[in-house]
Structure 1
Amino acid sequence: MSSSCCSGFLLNESDDYDDDDVAEKSPSGRYLRYNEVLDRGPRNTVYEGFDLVDGMEVTWNKVTVDDSFQSEEHMRRLSTLLKPLKHKNIIKSCSSWVDHQSKTINMISEFFTSGSLRLYSQKHRSVDIIAIKNWARQILQGLCYLHTRDLPIVHGDLTCQNIFVNGNSGQVKIGYIGLPTTMLQTPELDGEEIQYSPVVDIHSFGLCMLELVTSEYPYSYSDGKTQALLAKVKDIQVKDFIEKCIFPVSTMFSAAELLKDPFFEICAFTTCVNDTPDLVSVLEFKISNEKSEFRLRGERVDENSISLTLRIADTCGGQVTKIEFMFNVDADTTLSIAWEMVEQLDLPKEDATLIAVLMDNVIMKMVPCWMPSSVRFSGVKCSYGDPILVF
């Protein structure tokens, strides 16, 4: 990441850019700022930008600061903190500089097309708790990375608005770590000193969880009113986990400890919600273990063929793999195809059993006379039922 104490250049008629939407360019000339506003906060405005060298969209964050933040010493400190931040759940920082004329710090970072987790969750309000756990795990992994550095970093302003999501893969990243608080030593957790502790981020993480499960904005609640919103959480396990994050400070867990919480444990199971007729043309099952969620959608093509689409979501890293294939009822076996997938995709060997179970569930619903493969479940307990999607 590069840093500078130069001002950006507002474009006028003498500039070489014909696009009316281009408002400003960086001191180096590499980055352009468009007029389109992506987000606004109390002290900052985030614009859409463009990297002329890499040909990629970026975010341009303008943060209004007082004189103390505009010093060269602070910018060197900021550059030192952000440049080495490389983690799959932390937004990549590209450049930063101070604009003394407008009293702003400008920060360029990677662009996530699906926007903030707040907007994304508001758009998809019926999201499964498994997806929320996936997001929560990734947020904690990012916080754990920040808090356990040689020079620990406290985000200090963690909200669902400052967390970004890739809608295609389910990956989330923590952003706007532009003005972090560093801890040269661990302070006592009382009085004003608490603002320098990671517990600030853990408490904010708990409020993010509260927002995701209730679809309500918890930060508008005054002190003592959080319990009112927490009372709306009906799932006891979810409620207990959130309480560990927000009450009380003296016993608050670290990000690393929360990642080991039973809240994130996922047993192997197949999910079902609807009664199904003896013969269906399209349906979907899912099965999960502690590492991945497998979803299999089947569509009857003809008497002997079924079109299958398998979606494998990594609940730890957020990566998603999608495979489409045909299954011949007369010639194929679920176990042989499952083993072939495991070998070709370099999946854990134990996944072969889960994939075969999933295929057996789908095919048995679509072909009543189908006899499932002879699978021995060593240590894997599966409950069979109706599919999650039926046509």
Structure 2
Amino acid sequence: MASSSSIEWRIVERDEERKLSRSNKPLGSGSFKKVYLGFDEVKGIEIAWGKIPFTRQIKKSKRCAEAELSMSLEHENIIKCYDHWLDKPNKVVNMITEYCSSGDLRHYILEHNLVANTVMIKNWCRQILSALHYIHTRDQPVCHLDVKCANIFVDGKTGTIKLGDFGIAKAYNQELVIADIKKFGATVAEMADRRLLLCGEVRLGGMVFGGGGPEFFSHPMAYNLSVLAGVKNKEIARFSNKCLPPAPRTTALELLEDSFLAVDVTETSAASTSTAAGNLSLRKSVRDQVAELLQPPAEVLKDFDSRNKKFRLQGKMSEDVLISITLRSITDGNDSVRMMYFEFLLGVDTIPDIMADIAVEFDLSAEVIAVVSENLEQLITEFQPHDSNTPSISKEQQTQDGRSEDNRRRGIRKLKLLSFLCCTKPRSI
């Protein structure tokens, strides 16, 4: 096994039902709120816990418009809001939302050197426009008004991007739709221009809505020249310019139908667009559907108790032979939480090897070790291929095959294998 490392993570706050916990790790902050990493102890998933200070409007209405709007939105390319509540003593609104571990699109592009990557930009544009089409055409339509790379978040495992931060959203009207499309056009330019990604967001805000900057920015031609100055790809520049003044008024759906976003036969993009926005995915054949049913599940959860401890095992198939597993333990009567992340390589790792590390880190008795081991074995078994024609592999073969590929696979695992997370409730809670 690769060597392990440990990280301290403190729980600093819980909800009244003690189902959600907030850590002291910040995820980001804006003009109106701060966001921290949290954990949903019922679903077993990480969450984003936002804290919005009371405004005069919130004090008067005793409600948070952003949180209520976000909770009403149901779209795969919009950050989901799970819950919110007012904390009157501390004068903040707590807002629990979906967590995207790869961060915002601005940092994602810079980190992975994706500036002006045409295939990726097309993929992102389809998803953003799908989200805009949804909010502009729902029963109670709204406009976002702050579309930019810093407000778009990335699920790096699937390539899905999600529009978030509806803090200044307003009820739909035609002028605000135009503002959303302008901001989208400027965002496309951001994706293709490192200068705008690094320092252009604040200036772009003033340029889009007029004011907040030099007077000449309000002139359509000056605006276009400034936004598109660093965009070298003519195809991207044309598409971005279509959204900017004085271009004719257009809608998100019309932009989705632009030739720039047509899916090339060689493109393997996983762009997700709603049916109303023109879903571009192909139907699967019956054979494909049957083959999919025979595949192991994407995720398996197991909850069980032993002695005075509650356990949760959560497994996800990261690759064809690699299962990412989280083991979470909570001791009854003590708000002490311990989490352990590890990866199980099918055909190489064995449950006794994994259990040896778990037993040491969790200081478990032989009885509890047996219970955890049994549940771990059941979880891993569920990820085995369901195809009865797949030949079984003996333990001897697994050992031989494992040794032959051990060096190659362990090289991959060194970067991401074991990490332990210890959480202890501070006295102030």
TM-score range, shorter chain: 0.5 to 0.7
Deviation at 1:253, TM superposition (A): 1.5
The answer to whether structure 1 residue 219 and structure 2 residue 197 are counterparts is no
Equivalent AA in structure 2 for residue 130 of structure 1: V
Higher helix share: 2
1:81 alignment counterpart: 69
2:259 alignment counterpart: 262
1:53 alignment counterpart: 42
Equivalent AA in structure 1 for residue 185 of structure 2: G
Contact 1:34 1:47 in 2 (8 A): yes
Q: SS state of the match for residue 240, structure 2?
A: helix
Deviation at 1:95, TM superposition (A): 0.7
Report the Cα distance in structure 1 between the residues aligned to 2:113 and 2:67, rounded to whole angstroms: 38
Compared CA separation, residues 216 and 65, structure 1 to 2 (3 A): farther
CA-based RMSD of the aligned residues comes to: 2.7
Equivalent AA in structure 2 for residue 63 of structure 1: I
The answer to whether structure 1 residue 22 and structure 2 residue 4 are counterparts is no
* Higher normalized contact order (CA 8 Å, seq sep 6+, divided by chain length): 2
2:245 alignment counterpart: 247
Which residue of the other structure, out of 108, 111, 114, is the alignment partner of 1:123?
A: 111
Deviation at 1:121, TM superposition (A): 0.5
Report the Cα distance in structure 2 between the residues aligned to 1:33 and 1:179, rounded to whole angstroms: 25
Report the Cα distance in structure 2 between the residues aligned to 1:177 and 1:29, rounded to whole angstroms: 27
The answer to whether structure 1 residue 345 and structure 2 residue 288 are counterparts is yes
| TM-score, normalised via structure 2 length | 0.54
The answer to whether structure 1 residue 143 and structure 2 residue 122 are counterparts is no
Contact 1:125 1:215 in 2 (8 A): no
Report the Cα distance in structure 2 between the residues aligned to 1:165 and 1:152, rounded to whole angstroms: 24
Compared CA separation, residues 26 and 260, structure 1 to 2 (3 A): same
Deviation at 1:344, TM superposition (A): 3.7
Compared CA separation, residues 225 and 219, structure 1 to 2 (3 A): farther
Deviations 1:59-103 (A, max 9, x none): 01122342212344544x656533332111111110112233443
Which residue of the other structure, out of 146, 152, 157, is the alignment partner of 1:168?
A: 157
1:34 alignment counterpart: 23
Q: SS state of the match for residue 253, structure 2?
A: helix
Equivalent AA in structure 2 for residue 345 of structure 1: D
Q: Which moved more, 1:201-210 or 1:22-31?
A: 22-31
Report the Cα distance in structure 1 between the residues aligned to 2:9 and 2:102, rounded to whole angstroms: 25
Report the Cα distance in structure 1 between the residues aligned to 2:184 and 2:157, rounded to whole angstroms: 23
Equivalent AA in structure 2 for residue 246 of structure 1: L
Deviations 1:335-391 (A, max 9, x none): xxxxxx9664359xxxxxxxxxxxxxxxxxxxxxxxxxxxxxxxxxxxxxxxxxxxx
Report the Cα distance in structure 1 between the residues aligned to 2:22 and 2:285, rounded to whole angstroms: 46
Compared CA separation, residues 65 and 201, structure 1 to 2 (3 A): farther
1:236 alignment counterpart: 234
Compared CA separation, residues 200 and 343, structure 1 to 2 (3 A): same
Deviation at 1:180, TM superposition (A): 2.9
Q: SS state of the match for residue 50, structure 1?
A: strand
Overall identity of the aligned pairs, in % = 32
Report the Cα distance in structure 1 between the residues aligned to 2:36 and 2:141, rounded to whole angstroms: 29
Which residue of the other structure, out of 106, 109, 115, is the alignment partner of 2:94?
A: 106
Deviations 1:36-65 (A, max 9, x none): 111111222111111122121100112234
Equivalent AA in structure 2 for residue 240 of structure 1: R
Deviations 1:272-318 (A, max 9, x none): xxxxxxxxxxxxxxx23xxxx2xxxxxxxxxxxxxxxxxxx433459
Equivalent AA in structure 1 for residue 131 of structure 2: G
Contact 1:31 1:49 in 2 (8 A): yes
Report the Cα distance in structure 1 between the residues aligned to 2:14 and 2:20, rounded to whole angstroms: 6
2:343 alignment counterpart: none
The answer to whether structure 1 residue 199 and structure 2 residue 178 are counterparts is yes
The answer to whether structure 1 residue 63 and structure 2 residue 52 are counterparts is yes
Deviation at 1:219, TM superposition (A): 2.2
Contact 2:189 2:236 in 1 (8 A): no
Q: SS state of the match for residue 61, structure 1?
A: strand
Report the Cα distance in structure 1 between the residues aligned to 2:104 and 2:225, rounded to whole angstroms: 26
Report the Cα distance in structure 2 between the residues aligned to 1:314 and 1:20, rounded to whole angstroms: 34
Report the Cα distance in structure 2 between the residues aligned to 1:153 and 1:130, rounded to whole angstroms: 29
Unaligned runs of 5+ in 2: 1-7, 204-212, 275-283, 291-429
Paired residues in the alignment total: 254
1:314 alignment counterpart: 270
In the TM superposition, 1:286-325 aligns within 5 A as 287-288=266-267, 293=268, 313-317=269-273
Report the Cα distance in structure 2 between the residues aligned to 1:263 and 1:60, rounded to whole angstroms: 37
Deviations 1:119-165 (A, max 9, x none): 11111124631111101110110111111111112222222111111
Report the Cα distance in structure 2 between the residues aligned to 1:135 and 1:235, rounded to whole angstroms: 16
Equivalent AA in structure 2 for residue 314 of structure 1: A
Contact 2:51 2:93 in 1 (8 A): yes
